[in-house]
């Protein structure tokens, strides 16, 4: 209880400040939440909303980046898109790479985070080391992975050769290029997700583990029955983020391609993702079809929303934490 | 603990604020002093290294009041950023370098550029080989750029591999064997393959071969009036057929220029010839320093050829168009181009230079002292003009991809050709 | 929302902690696995150091070169030589440091602020607004390039690092992470106690929430710093080579027209990560410190 009460004689004097305090307190309760969330919405309003609206409008025109005139053509771009086999090819590639890259990645990240959550020697070192892929610059990453998966002189084929396995044309094959890219994406993002899980694990109270230990659960069962359920919101979050990021995959396959195949995702578009196709249409070639690219972008938003919802429902079936 | 964090977070906020203030004030201070130093700052945007650094210093010394600042990016980034900057009306430099692969985009959108005829470009026409000059001329006769260098072609070949395969190794002899046509070239290839050292092939890349042949075609992908003639031009189909024959005869290593395996190929000697423009000499030297003396250069079959070459343009966004045009004329003057040639190997694009002793007598020790100046100059002078169009670059990408698909056994030649036509139509549609 | 009960008193005697499974020591198999993970994570970085310490020919050597050479300082020296390299590398480092620091501080701060509101404050439309926050994640970056660029022209921020800072001041990613952490990791009793002491929402935030979110703040700060440091596409478009961030600068070194010097480029990459490693060390201790404390402050 606060020491706000005064003596009777000063009641009137105290009453006025108390009333003002109450008013301020009510204003604070009402307004401060909105004030606190306003920086986010302000930044988004200025830098996020305008691009959204602008590209929505552009997608309804035949706007070419360099040309002086453009015409309103309604949903024509979207109609064209439905029949565009290269677009659907990129959709297939994107989803395939996503599945190959994301599912093992998140599982591995969970396991690594769990291990790092225990008492270890050199704990800080390991925790920082898993972030090294994020620190390595993209130029270096691109160089290294194209080297790794090159056909004649690549490191992976070199090792395969030692085991008597035939050299694989990683970049030219469809599934092989998906695999190579999944390895690249996994390499780069597993540590990142592991760290998020690790941080979230810090908010799991000791008592739950202690209770489970008392019930005879060893580390693995504690993982399944305490960690994972408690981490469910974070897992859902990383799944959603990985869905969004994965479906928007651009940098890794673009750099994997090298020079001419850079934007087409291989000579047969075997690993061209949706955003690569978007980029090709609008800036990465001589087509400069801004309107069409905007339509692709909005279809992507739709796909992400749908797929995100699907993933959300799948993952929320993890048994939720009981009190 | 709590108070330490509070103190630390406050400290961080203060540091950040100070940093921001410092930046802002720093920028304005710089601006003020720059204004005092010079009257005009010219910005020039290139890709890679055009070798102009000393030239800038020379120009600044002889033109007090002018400061030159150079921007540079990678080739694809440079052209993507250029399109963006032009389309949105801000961000382009006073002078923009544009490579031949993109120049035709801008000759059809010439309103973004200053017509250099205003600054005497027509008088300079005779300086250039006709085909080079025409590349930067728009349909409305506007001249949007002046040529910097040309990528005229020769054939670089490995003398040691040729020797092992029982072929002559002197440029003159080879020039006689294959100089007339590409069929003769493939015939030499057949001879090579009979006794080729293990693991090597006669040519490096089907797409390089195809592009070299197409560069000699007149017309090429576009007719003089600007129509797309990819499907109907028999010269394109002929180039395709020759390339397919080379692949069928197993003379082709199946690589693509600038890919990792192609680079490794120089080092490990997996191909005996490569269509090489003047600027590739430096590239080969960088990739395979241990092969010094093993390479030589001969004339290209069919006479003449081009791969690359750029132009300097002045954008309408420039606030100092007169000064920028003057700088462009300086940088593309014979004296400047000779200087660049001597220091970086980029072949000048000016006829007087190509005919001059200084260029023609130039020999390259790495390439067995081959008379590279003479070979490349002849190649530049022999080339016929080819009309370019805005989607040139996309046609080349489509053809490279198509050839790769055949080389990687993903498609038959017939199917690959059909898809190439489909892609070309989509690109220009 | 984490549904566990928060009624259990937090303070335990140290002896009872011994029962926790957290103090099971890890077996040798675990260490082998972790070392493998570290080696895989480290190898590309190590290899780029190897190439940076040789010359260009080392990049495509076969079998690949695996041991560092002696050229590293020579290459680094070349990087900062304005006659040899056309990008101002030192300026790029400073720019990136400023941009990443400012963005990190603002993201952590405003994310904690909004996360606090969504997690602990009652207000109308809370659920809807939070879903809206998450919905903003759907927008692909490449979509916004041109309109964002147009906006920068209007603000007059072209070629200024303000253009790279402003759009990133606060992220939905950060808001979500903070909200989750605060919801589960800050007991309501603490907040109630502060309220009783007369704190308004701001003071609750400053005195209770901020200290409590230290582990998550460290992680979010680290990830944000790294992401901002690595950002490539947008800075490339809106800045030019005279006022670059470090990734733009590295791409500029990579640019030599026809003969890229990979050892120089990778030396540049190596230099560009040193500040990152510094941030690692600084914030790394925070993460460990936070974990030692558990989810509860003090």
Residue B11: the pLDDT is: 47
The answer to whether the CB atoms of B72 and C251 lie below 8 A apart is no
Q: What integer best gives the mean pLDDT of chain C? A: 77
For the ranges A226-230, B26-30, B258-262, the lowest mean pLDDT is seen at: B26-30
Residue C274 located in a structural domain? no
Residue A69 located in a structural domain? no
Residue C83: the pLDDT is: 61
Domain count, chain A: 2
Q: What is the pLDDT along chain A (323 residues), one digit of tens a residue?
A: 333 444 444 555 556 677 887 888 888 888 888 889 899 999 988 888 888 888 889 899 998 888 878 899 989 999 999 999 999 999 999 999 999 999 999 999 998 988 888 777 777 788 888 888 887 777 778 778 887 887 777 778 888 888 888 888 888 888 999 999 999 999 989 988 898 888 788 777 778 888 888 888 777 787 888 888 888 888 888 888 888 888 988 888 887 876 556 788 888 899 999 988 988 888 778 888 889 988 998 899 889 889 888 888 888 776 554 43
**Which residue range is the domain that position C53 belongs to?**
2-72
- Domain harbouring A146, CATH code: 1.10.3720.10
**Which residue range is the domain that position A6 belongs to?**
2-58
- For residues B193 and B95, what is the distance between their CA atoms, to the nearest angstrom? 49
Q: Spell out the residues 6+ positions from residue B7 whose beta carbon is closer than 8 angstroms to its own.
A: none
| Last residue of one domain, picked from the residues C72, C103, C134 | C72
Identify which of A220, A112, A124, A113 has the alpha carbon closest to the alpha carbon of residue C24: A220
B132 close contact with A: CB closer than 8 A:
no
Contacts of A52 in chain C (CB under 8 A): 139, 143-144
Residue C42 located in a structural domain? yes
Percent of chain B exceeding pLDDT 70 equals 91
Q: What angle do CA B121, B322, B82 make, to 5 degrees?
A: 80
pLDDT at position C237 over 70: yes
Strands B201-203 and B95-99: unpaired
Residue C50 located in a structural domain? yes
| Last residue of one domain, picked from the residues C72, C106, C132 | C72
Partner-chain residue, chosen from A150, A261, A268, that has the shortest CB–CB distance to B261:
A150
Same domain, C220 and C154: yes
Residue C286: the pLDDT is: 65
Residue A143 located in a structural domain? yes
Structure tokens belonging to residue C11: 């303070």
Number of residues in chain A? 323
- For residues C119 and B68, what is the distance between their CA atoms, to the nearest angstrom? 55
Number of residues in chain B? 429
Q: Which residues pair with B113 in a beta bridge?
A: B315
Domain count, chain C: 2
Per-residue b or e along B170-190, where b marks 16 or more CB atoms closer than 10 Å to that residue's CB = ebeebbebbbeebeebbebbe
Same domain, A94 and A204: yes
Q: Is C170 helix (H, G, I), strand (E, B) or coil?
A: coil
- Domain harbouring C103, CATH code: 1.10.3720.10
Identify which of A137, A183, A131 has the alpha carbon closest to the alpha carbon of residue A156: A183
B256 close contact with A: CB closer than 8 A:
yes
Q: Which of A180, A286, A287 to mutate to test the interface with B (most CBs of B within 10 A)?
A: A286
Percent of chain C exceeding pLDDT 70 equals 77
Residue A252: the pLDDT is: 83
Element (H, E) at C141: none
Residue C228 located in a structural domain? yes
Same domain, C175 and C45: no
User: Given a contact as 3+ CB pairs under 8 Å, which chains touch B?
Assistant: A, C
Omega of the bond prior to C144 within 30 degrees of 0, cis? no
The answer to whether the CB atoms of C146 and B71 lie below 8 A apart is no
The answer to whether the CB atoms of C101 and B70 lie below 8 A apart is no
Q: Spell out the residues 6+ positions from residue A194 whose beta carbon is closer than 8 angstroms to its own.
A: A108, A109, A110, A112, A113, A116, A130
Same domain, C199 and C52: no
Partner-chain residue, chosen from B5, B74, B289, that has the shortest CB–CB distance to C251:
B74
For the ranges B337-346, C124-133, C174-183, C246-255, the lowest mean pLDDT is seen at: C246-255
Nearest CA in chain A to B389: A286
The answer to whether the CB atoms of A261 and B258 lie below 8 A apart is no
Q: Spell out the residues 6+ positions from residue B172 whose beta carbon is closer than 8 angstroms to its own.
A: B298
Number of other residues whose CB lies within 10 A of the CB of residue C134: 17
Residue A227: the pLDDT is: 82
Same domain, C68 and C102: no
Q: Which of A85-89, B102-106, B382-386 has the highest mean pLDDT?
A: A85-89
Nearest CA in chain B to A142: B260
Across residues B390-419, what is the average pLDDT?
91
Residue B313: the pLDDT is: 95
Percent of chain B exceeding pLDDT 90 equals 38
The answer to whether the CB atoms of C144 and A48 lie below 8 A apart is yes
N- to C-terminal Cα separation, chain B: 66
Partner-chain residue, chosen from A169, A259, A287, that has the shortest CB–CB distance to B259:
A259
Same domain, C97 and C225: yes
Residue C262 located in a structural domain? no
Partner-chain residue, chosen from B2, B13, B23, that has the shortest CB–CB distance to C211:
B2
Q: Spell out the residues 6+ positions from residue B257 whose beta carbon is closer than 8 angstroms to its own.
A: A259, B204, B205, B207, B208
Identify which of B55, B60, B65 has the alpha carbon closest to the alpha carbon of residue B34: B65
The confidence band for B142, taking pLDDT boundaries of 50, 70 and 90, is: very high
Q: What integer best gives the mean pLDDT of chain B? A: 84
Residue C297 located in a structural domain? no
Q: Is A67 helix (H, G, I), strand (E, B) or coil?
A: coil
Residue C112: the pLDDT is: 93
More confident position, B94 or C236: B94
User: Given a contact as 3+ CB pairs under 8 Å, which chains touch A?
Assistant: B, C
Q: Spell out the residues 6+ positions from residue B62 whose beta carbon is closer than 8 angstroms to its own.
A: none
Interface list for B 223-262 with C (CB within 8 A): 260
| Residue B152 contacts residue B350 (beta carbons within 8 Å) | no
Residue showing tokens 């092969």: B291
Nearest CA in chain C to B286: C259
The confidence band for C67, taking pLDDT boundaries of 50, 70 and 90, is: confident
H-assigned helices in chain C:
14-17, 28-52, 72-79, 89-120, 126-135, 145-155, 162-165, 172-185, 188-196, 201-204, 210-212, 214-230, 233-238, 246-253, 262-293
| Residue B41 contacts residue C242 (beta carbons within 8 Å) | no
B54 close contact with C: CB closer than 8 A:
no
Identify which of A128, B300, B149 has the alpha carbon closest to the alpha carbon of residue C273: A128
- Phi, psi for B165 (deg, rounded to 5): -90, 5
Interface list for C 209-248 with B (CB within 8 A): 210-211, 214, 236-238, 240-242, 248
Q: Which residues pair with B127 in a beta bridge?
A: none
Same domain, C105 and C183: yes
- For residues B23 and B29, what is the distance between their CA atoms, to the nearest angstrom? 10
Q: Which of A14-18, B288-292, B349-353 has the highest mean pLDDT?
A: B349-353
Contacts of B77 in chain C (CB under 8 A): 236, 251
Residue showing tokens 């000393």: B54
* pLDDT tens readout for residues A135-186: 777 777 877 888 788 777 777 888 888 888 888 888 888 899 999 999 999 9
CA distances from B303 to B171, B231, B319, B351 (A): 15, 24, 43, 17
Structure tokens belonging to residue C224: 């944000």
* pLDDT tens readout for residues C39-61: 988 888 888 888 788 877 666 66
Residue B4: the pLDDT is: 40
Contacts of A283 in chain B (CB under 8 A): 80, 83-84
Residue B94: the pLDDT is: 94
Side-chain-side CA neighbours of B157 within 13 Å: the count stands at 30
Residue B31: the pLDDT is: 39
Same domain, C139 and C195: yes
The answer to whether the CB atoms of C57 and B2 lie below 8 A apart is no
pLDDT at position B18 over 80: no
Contacts of C98 in chain B (CB under 8 A): 19-20, 23
Same domain, A29 and A155: no
The answer to whether the CB atoms of C137 and A209 lie below 8 A apart is no
- Which long-range contacts does C61-65 make (Cβ < 8 Å, 24+ apart)? C61/B267, C62/A153, C62/A158, C62/B264, C62/B267, C62/B268, C63/A158, C64/A147, C64/A155, C64/A158
| Residue B43 contacts residue B13 (beta carbons within 8 Å) | no
* pLDDT tens readout for residues B29-83: 343 444 444 589 999 998 877 888 889 999 999 999 899 988 877 777 788 888 8
Q: Which of B91, B307, B345 to mutate to test the interface with C (most CBs of C within 10 A)?
A: B91
Same domain, A174 and A294: yes
Same domain, C109 and C244: yes
Partner-chain residue, chosen from B394, B402, B411, that has the shortest CB–CB distance to A286:
B394
Residue C173 located in a structural domain? yes
Residue showing tokens 């101002």: C88
pLDDT at position C19 over 60: no
The answer to whether the CB atoms of B91 and C153 lie below 8 A apart is yes
Q: What angle do CA C193, C195, C201 make, to 5 degrees?
A: 130
Same domain, C95 and C196: yes
Structure tokens belonging to residue A88: 């659907």
The answer to whether the CB atoms of C134 and A30 lie below 8 A apart is no
Residue A64 located in a structural domain? no
Across residues C182-199, what is the average pLDDT?
85
Q: Which residues pair with B44 in a beta bridge?
A: B70, B95
Domains plus CATH for chain B?
Answer: 41-150+309-357 (3.40.190.10), 154-307+370-428 (3.40.190.10)
Same domain, C30 and C63: yes
* pLDDT tens readout for residues C148-162: 888 888 888 888 888
The answer to whether the CB atoms of C37 and A304 lie below 8 A apart is no
Contacts of B406 in chain A (CB under 8 A): none
Residue C78 located in a structural domain? no
How far is C-alpha B233 from the geometric centre of its chain's CA atoms?
Answer: 25
Number of other residues whose CB lies within 10 A of the CB of residue B33: 9
Across residues C9-28, what is the average pLDDT?
49
B74 close contact with C: CB closer than 8 A:
yes
The confidence band for C110, taking pLDDT boundaries of 50, 70 and 90, is: very high
For the ranges A266-280, B9-23, B161-175, the lowest mean pLDDT is seen at: B9-23
Same domain, C187 and C54: no
Angle C246-253/C89-120 helices, nearest 10 degrees? Answer: 140
Partner-chain residue, chosen from A34, A54, A145, that has the shortest CB–CB distance to C123:
A34
Interface list for A 107-126 with C (CB within 8 A): 112, 115-121, 123-124, 126
| Last residue of one domain, picked from the residues C40, C72, C104 | C72
| Cβ pairs A/C, distance under 8 A | 313
Q: What angle do CA A146, A148, A154 make, to 5 degrees?
A: 100
B264 close contact with A: CB closer than 8 A:
yes
Same domain, C232 and C96: yes
The answer to whether the CB atoms of C60 and B73 lie below 8 A apart is no
Structure tokens belonging to residue C88: 């101002």
C-alpha torsion angle, residues A30, A31, A34, A35 (rounded to 10): -150
CA distances from B367 to B284, B297, B352 (A): 10, 7, 25
| Residue C251 contacts residue B77 (beta carbons within 8 Å) | yes
The confidence band for C254, taking pLDDT boundaries of 50, 70 and 90, is: low
Nearest CA in chain B to C256: B48
- Which long-range contacts does C91-95 make (Cβ < 8 Å, 24+ apart)? C91/C243, C91/C244, C92/C244, C92/C245, C92/C246, C92/C248, C92/C249, C92/C272, C93/C246, C93/C271, C93/C272, C93/C275, C95/C161, C95/C243, C95/C244, C95/C245, C95/C246
Residue A103 located in a structural domain? yes
More confident position, C241 or A134: A134
Same domain, A212 and A275: yes
């Amino acid at each position: 209880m606060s020491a706000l009460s005064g003596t009777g004689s000063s009641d009137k004097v105290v009453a006025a400040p108390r009333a003002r305090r109450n008013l301020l307190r009510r204003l604070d309760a009402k307004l401060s939440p909105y004030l606190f969330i306003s920086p986010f919405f302000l930044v988004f309003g200025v830098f996020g909303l305008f691009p959204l609206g602008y590209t929505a409008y552009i997608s309804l025109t035949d706007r070419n980046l360099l040309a002086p005139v453009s015409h309103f053509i309604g949903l024509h771009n979207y109609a064209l898109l439905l029949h565009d086999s290269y677009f659907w090819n990129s959709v297939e590639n994107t989803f395939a790479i996503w599945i190959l890259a994301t599912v093992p990645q998140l599982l591995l990240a969970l396991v690594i985070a769990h291990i790092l959550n225990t008492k270890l020697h050199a704990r800080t070192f390991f925790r920082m080391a898993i972030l090294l892929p994020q620190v390595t610059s993209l130029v270096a990453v691109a160089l290294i992975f194209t080297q790794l998966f090159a056909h004649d002189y690549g490191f992976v084929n070199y090792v395969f050769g030692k085991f008597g396995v035939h050299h694989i044309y990683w970049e030219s094959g469809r599934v092989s290029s998906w695999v190579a890219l999944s390895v690249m994406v996994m390499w780069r993002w597993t540590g990142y997700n592991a760290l998020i899980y690790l941080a979230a694990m810090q908010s799991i109270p000791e008592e739950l583990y202690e209770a489970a230990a008392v019930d005879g659960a060893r580390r693995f069962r504690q993982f399944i029955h305490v960690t994972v359920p408690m981490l469910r919101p974070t897992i859902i979050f990383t799944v959603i983020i990985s869905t969004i990021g994965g479906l928007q995959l651009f940098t890794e396959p673009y750099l994997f391609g090298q020079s001419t195949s850079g934007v087409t995702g291989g000579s047969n578009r075997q690993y061209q993702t949706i955003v690569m196709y978007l980029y090709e249409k609008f800036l990465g070639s001589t087509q400069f079809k801004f309107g069409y690219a905007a339509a692709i972008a909005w279809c992507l938003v739709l796909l992400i929303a749908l797929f995100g919802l699907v993933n959300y429902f799948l993952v929320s079936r993890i048994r939720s934490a009981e009190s | 603990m709590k108070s330490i964090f509070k103190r630390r977070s406050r400290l961080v906020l203060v540091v950040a604020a100070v940093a921001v203030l410092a930046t802002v004030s720093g920028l304005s201070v710089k601006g003020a002093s720059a204004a005092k130093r010079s009257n005009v700052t010219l910005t020039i945007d290139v890709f890679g290294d055009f070798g102009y650094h000393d030239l800038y210093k020379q120009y600044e010394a002889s033109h007090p009041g002018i400061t030159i600042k150079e921007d540079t990016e990678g080739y694809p980034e440079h052209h993507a950023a250029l399109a963006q900057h032009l389309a949105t009306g801000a961000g382009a430099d006073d002078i923009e370098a544009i490579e031949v692969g993109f120049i035709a985009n801008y000759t059809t959108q010439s309103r973004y550029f200053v017509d250099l005829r205003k600054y005497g470009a027509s008088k300079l026409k005779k300086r250039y080989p006709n085909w080079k000059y025409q590349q930067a001329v728009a349909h409305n006769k506007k001249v949007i750029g002046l040529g910097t260098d040309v990528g005229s072609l020769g054939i670089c070949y490995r003398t040691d591999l040729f020797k092992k395969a029982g072929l002559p190794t002197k440029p003159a002899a080879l020039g006689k064997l294959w100089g007339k046509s590409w069929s003769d070239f493939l015939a030499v290839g057949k001879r090579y393959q009979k006794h080729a050292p293990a693991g090597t092939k006669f040519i490096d890349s089907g797409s390089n071969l195809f592009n070299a042949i197409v560069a000699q075609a007149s017309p090429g992908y576009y007719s003089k009036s600007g129509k797309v003639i990819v499907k109907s031009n028999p010269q394109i189909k002929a180039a395709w057929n020759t390339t397919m024959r080379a692949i069928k005869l197993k003379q082709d290593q199946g690589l693509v220029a600038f890919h990792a395996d192609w680079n490794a190929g120089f080092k490990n000697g997996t191909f005996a010839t490569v269509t090489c423009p003047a600027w590739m000499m430096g590239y080969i030297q960088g990739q395979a320093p241990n092969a010094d003396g093993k390479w030589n250069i001969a004339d290209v079959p069919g006479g003449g050829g081009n791969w690359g070459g750029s132009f300097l343009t002045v954008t309408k966004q420039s606030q100092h168009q007169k000064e920028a045009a003057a700088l462009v004329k300086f940088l593309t003057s014979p004296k400047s181009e000779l200087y660049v040639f001597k220091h970086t190997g980029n072949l000048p694009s000016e006829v007087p230079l190509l005919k001059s002793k200084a260029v023609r007598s130039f020999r390259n020790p790495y390439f067995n002292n081959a008379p590279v100046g003479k070979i490349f100059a002849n190649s530049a002078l022999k080339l016929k003009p080819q009309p370019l169009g805005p989607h040139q670059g996309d046609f080349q990408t489509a053809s490279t991809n198509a050839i790769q698909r055949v080389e990687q056994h993903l498609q038959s030649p017939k199917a690959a050709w059909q898809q190439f036509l489909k892609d070309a139509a989509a690109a220009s549609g | 929302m984490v549904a566990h009960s928060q009624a259990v008193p937090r303070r335990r005697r140290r002896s009872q902690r011994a029962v926790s499974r957290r103090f099971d020591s890890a077996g040798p198999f675990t260490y082998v696995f972790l070392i493998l993970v570290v080696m895989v994570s480290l190898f590309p970085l190590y290899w780029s150091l190897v190439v940076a310490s040789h010359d260009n020919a080392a990049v495509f050597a076969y079998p690949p070169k695996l041991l560092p050479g002696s050229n590293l300082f020579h290459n680094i020296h070349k990087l900062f030589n304005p006659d040899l390299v056309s990008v101002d590398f030192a300026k790029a480092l400073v720019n990136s440091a400023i941009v990443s620091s400012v963005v990190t501080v603002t993201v952590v701060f405003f994310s904690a602020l909004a996360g606090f509101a969504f997690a602990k404050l009652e207000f109308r439309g809370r659920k809807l607004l939070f879903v809206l926050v998450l919905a903003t994640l759907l927008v692909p970056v490449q979509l916004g390039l041109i309109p964002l660029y147009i906006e920068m022209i209007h603000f007059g921020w072209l070629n200024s690092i303000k253009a790279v800072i402003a759009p990133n001041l606060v992220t939905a990613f950060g808001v979500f992470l903070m909200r989750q952490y605060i919801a589960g990791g800050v007991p309501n009793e603490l907040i109630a106690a502060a309220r009783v002491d007369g704190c308004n929402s701001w003071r609750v935030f400053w005195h209770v929430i901020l200290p409590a979110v230290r582990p998550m703040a460290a992680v979010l700060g680290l990830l944000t710093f790294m992401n901002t440091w690595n950002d490539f596409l947008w800075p490339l478009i809106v800045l030019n080579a005279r006022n670059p961030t470090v990734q733009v600068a590295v791409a500029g070194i990579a640019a030599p027209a026809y003969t890229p010097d990979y050892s120089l480029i990778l030396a540049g990459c190596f230099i560009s990560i040193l500040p990152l490693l510094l941030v690692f060390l600084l914030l790394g201790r925070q993460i460990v410190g936070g974990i030692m404390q558990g989810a509860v402050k003090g």
